[in-house]
Structures are given as structure tokens and as C-alpha cells.
Chain A
Amino acid sequence: QITLKESGPTLVEPTQTLTLTCTFSGFSLSTNGVGVGWIRQPPGKALEYLALVYWDDDKRYSPSLRGRLTITKDTSKNQVVLTMTNMDPVDTATYYCAHWTSGGYFDYWGQGTLVTVSS
């Protein structure tokens, strides 16, 4: 059974750096063809892809946010960490991590964590 859970601060001040952790179980991020991605959703708005780390440690980022994002994996801890620098109120959103398959889709999602950017 695959599960994922996001954790991190619920409130971040503008210009600060956000660090989110995705802790998962039921699969290994060293298995060929597996990945973990981050997707966010501002209140009342659509899903937005942020970043993806693959089993071989290859990493991909959304071009619109590439300079602000860093994604890393710790296979031994079954965790993936996303950092986003220079936070702004427009970054207020629910942040999801999800299990990615080689078929190109996200088949298991975490419950999401709401991050509010405000002073």
C-alpha cells in the first residue's frame, strides 16, 4: 500500500524560504521507473506542476519556477524535500506530493498541506 504525507510550515513570511518534506511508504525511490513529484493548488484554482525527482536522481522543474525550486531525495529515509525560495503571497496554496510512474502519471497523492504566505 503506497502512502505519502506532506509536512512543513503552515505559515511563511514573504521573502522566506519554504521547506516541505514528503514522507512516503509502500515503495522505494531507488526502483527503476519511479518518481515523486510536487504539485500545488492555490485556493479555488487549478493544479500546477512544480518539480519531479526520478529514481536515478534526475530532476525536472517547472520552467516558470525553476530558479526558485530545489528537489532532493533521501532514499534511506523514504523522503523527498522541496525547497522554494523568496516566497510571495501568490505562493499561498495547498502543496501535494505524489508518486509518479513511468507511464507519466501520478497514481498516489498525499493529503496536501496548506501553506499561507503572509507577514
Chain B
Amino acid sequence: QSVLTQPPSVSGAPGQRVTISCTGSSSNIGADYDVHWYQQLPGTAPKLLIYGNKNRPSGVPDRFSGSRSGTSASLAITGLQAEDEADYYCHSYDSSLSGSVFGGGTKLTVL
């Protein structure tokens, strides 16, 4: 059971907007630690998608955006494309564990 909770799956049609939630607690997201997001395409290593809650690395389309509020964070994907079909993971720091924690991952299906 992951410290950060994500929905197991989300889906949307091409062109639609989807959001993926990441719920933590007072020892991680709620303690003001940053949240980062990774995209893992099938059979490949994770790729940094969002860092510091809302920042995109160079090359990541602006269709991807992140936000954080209270003990939760969200990843939003607009203008959904078939190539967005992947697993998405949130990541933060937990003070009670003194280390990184990941969410359980969310599988995005593009209908």
C-alpha cells in the first residue's frame, strides 16, 4: 500500500481533459513538500513530467500541468492524445520516513 494514493485508472477520449489525483498526508504533501510526476510508457523507464508541483522540463508539452493544494496534488492532461496512454506516478518526500515516496500509479487509457 503506497503512502501516496492515486486512482488505479482513468480514461478519456482523444481531445478531452483528464485529471489524476495524488493524496498524501501531513508528513508529505501536507508538510509542504513538493510533488513531482513521472510518465511511464509501456516497457520503458519513467520520465520526469512535472517537477516542483507545476514546472515542466524542457520538451514536455504544455498540455500537461500540475497543481498542489493541502494534502493533495493533481496532474491534468488536456487535448488527450493516443500517445499519452501510459502509467503516471506522483512522487514526494515524507518526513516520517525520511525519504522519497511514490504513489501507486495510475493507468491512463485513451479511448
Contacts and interface: CB of A to CB of B under 8 A. Distances in A.
Interface of A: 37, 39, 46-49, 52, 60-63, 96, 103-112
Contact of A49 (B36, B38, B102): B102
Contacts of B52: 103, 105
A61 B100 CA distance: 9
Given A49-B99, A52-B100, A107-B51, 4 more contacts: A46-B102, A49-B102, A109-B47, A111-B45
Interface string B93-111: 1000111111111000000
29 contacts: A39-B46, A46-B102, A46-B103, A46-B105, A47-B46, A47-B89, A47-B105, A49-B100, A49-B101, A49-B102, A52-B100, A60-B99, A61-B99, A62-B97, A63-B98, A63-B99, A96-B45, A103-B34, A103-B51, A104-B34, A105-B36, A105-B48, A105-B51, A107-B51, A107-B57, A108-B48, A109-B45, A109-B47, A111-B45
A104 B33 contact: yes
Contacts of B68: none
Contacts of B104: 46
Contacts of A106: 36, 38, 46, 48, 91
Contacts of B97: 62-63
A96 B33 CA distance: 23
A48 B99 CA distance: 11
B91 A105 contact: yes
A46 B89 contact: yes
Contacts of A111: 45
A103 B89 CA distance: 17
Contacts of B48: 105-108
Contacts of A60: 98-99
B51 A110 contact: no
